[in-house]
Amino acid sequence: MTLGLEVSHVAPLYNLGFVIIVLWLFVILVSVKVRDKRVYMTPWKLLFFAVIVFVIEEVLTVLRMQGVVDIPRHINGFFELIIISTFIYALLLQKERMKRL
């Protein structure tokens, strides 16, 4: 096998490892006691939702590569569409919040 194929087989596993770190950081962010009620957490909750969708996508990719599930490849496009739409929505919410302040 070439190096590119080797990396493409291992990359989803590395992504899941990095996502564990990101989820841990989100838990720390959400568990911090907020003294100021003006803190706007909605975009962060939406980003957390997008990370969860990414985890589902990567788990399905790893399971497909191992031969455990047999789903079409184009399903990943739907997951990526959900992730990007959530990012854009979070940015637009933050932009509106900044306008009001």
| Residue 27 confidence (pLDDT) | 87
| Residue 3 confidence (pLDDT) | 84
Find out whether 13 and 63 touch, Cβ atoms under 8 Å: no
Tens of pLDDT, residue by residue over 79-100, are 999 999 999 999 999 999 999 8
Domain of residue 57: give its range.
Answer: 3-32+39-100
Which residues are CB-contacts of 41 (< 8 A; sequence separation ≥ 6)? 30, 34
| Residue 91 confidence (pLDDT) | 96
Tens of pLDDT, residue by residue over 16-55, are 889 899 999 988 888 878 777 778 888 989 999 999 999 9
* Number of domains the chain is built from: 1
| Residue 1 confidence (pLDDT) | 66
Please give the Cα distance from 22 to 15 (Å, whole number): 10
Q: Quick one: how many helices (H) and strands (E) in the chain?
A: 3, 0
